[in-house]
Every structure is written in structure tokens, then in C-alpha cells.
Structure 1
Amino acid sequence: MEIRPLHDRVIVRRVEEKKTTASGLIIPDSSTEKPSRGEVVAVGNGRISADGKVIPLDVKVGETVMFGQYSGAEITVGDEKLLVMSEDEIVAVIED
């Protein structure tokens, strides 16, 4: 199934954080927070300005982004959990 967000919405797949520290200690699942970074898998056409024009989004499919820990709404597509959020909830694009 393919999903297409509307307007200024973005669909993000969480990217799991490392489960070990730099010194090799394993971090148990119970003490880790949900990842606050993810890969953009779909974007809407853009936000609509006051005069009715469509303003394209800044983020693109395939980019890795950072967002707040409680950003977005979790949805399930097939057997995959994804986040739907407004572009305003994305705080940064990670450039490699």
C-alpha cells in the first residue's frame, strides 16, 4: 500500500539509535528513548498560503531529519510503524 500525505504533512520512518555506547556498553531497551530522527518517506504537495498559492516543502523524500521526541502521530502501514507530522515539527535536516 502506498500512502501520500496532504498539504504540509510529512511521513517519517524512525531511524533506530545505536544500542551501545562508544565504550561498548549495551543500552537496554527500557532505558532508551524513542529515536528523534528518521528518514522522510513521503511529503505532501506543500502548505497553502493566505492568498491560496501552494508553497513547496523544504524537506525531500530520502532525507534524514530530526524532530521532537513527541512529534507526529504514529500510524501503521502494512506491518510498519511510521510517523505523520507537519513540516513545522521537523527541526533539522541531517546532511552527511
Structure 2
Amino acid sequence: MAVSLSVSTVKPLGDRVFVKVSAAEEKTAGGIILPDNAKEKPNVGEIMQVGTGKLNDKGERQAMEVSVGDKVLYSKYAGTDIKLGNDEYVLLSEKDILAIVS
């Protein structure tokens, strides 16, 4: 039995976010076309889903600093890679997000 997942069916828990990974660079600055195995894993993406937030010491939920639609820069080796169809996603903790980029 196969499980069919889509972006709308993935709901991160706690302080986790679901990020669509931006496409990897196809060429170097000098114009050399890179093969698939030479491309670096991009660490920029768009937030597709956010969790409810982390519980603090008082048992209250802390609001997330990021929201759906934000473009973010995240740690290079952070999170869990997920592939849905032809698109790549990463599920990571909010603490692994370094910055919101525009």
C-alpha cells in the first residue's frame, strides 16, 4: 500500500518547519555546466508549512518567528530531506534557520 503525500498533508509539529528547497545552481560563475553529482545542496528555500511553536518552561506556546511564504537561509546539513514528486523539501527545526532573506 503506497502513501500519497502532498504539501498540504504535511503538518510539522512543535517548532519545526517544512521548506521547499530552491533549485541548485546549474552553472558556475565562469559558465561551466555542473553535473548532478557536483552540485552543492542549496541551503535556501521557501517555507511551505509551520508548526504550532515550541513550549516554554511555563507550558505556553512560543510564537514562531517565521511564517508561510518566507524565504529562509538554513544550516547546510540541517533537517530531513523529503522528495514529493519532482520537488525537494526539508523538514527542519526553527533553530536551524539562520536568516530570513528577501
CA RMSD of aligned residues (A): 1.6
Look up the equivalent residue of 2:46 and give its one-letter code.
E
2:47 aligned residue (40, 45, 51): 40
SS of structure 2 residue aligned to 1:55: coil
Structure 2 unaligned blocks of 5 or more: 1-5
Q: Shift in Å at residue 28 of structure 1?
A: 2.1
Find the aligned partners of 1:8 and 1:35 in 2 and give their Cα distance.
22
SS of structure 2 residue aligned to 1:30: helix
Determine whether 1:83 maps to 2:58. no
Normalising by structure 2, what TM-score?
0.81
Q: How does 1:19-58 map to 2 (within 5 A)?
A: 19-58=26-65
Aligned to 2:25: 18
Normalising by structure 1, what TM-score?
0.85
How many matched pairs?
94
Distance 1:76 1:23, change over 3 A: closer
Determine whether 1:59 maps to 2:66. yes
CA contact (8 A) 2:81 2:88 kept: yes
Find the aligned partners of 1:9 and 1:17 in 2 and give their Cα distance.
23
CA contact (8 A) 2:54 2:62 kept: yes
Look up the equivalent residue of 1:45 and give its one-letter code.
T
Structure 1 segments of 4+ aligned residues over 3 angstroms from their partners: none
Looking at secondary structure, tell me which structure has more strand per residue. 1
Identity %: 34
CA contact (8 A) 2:25 2:39 kept: no
SS of structure 2 residue aligned to 1:17: coil
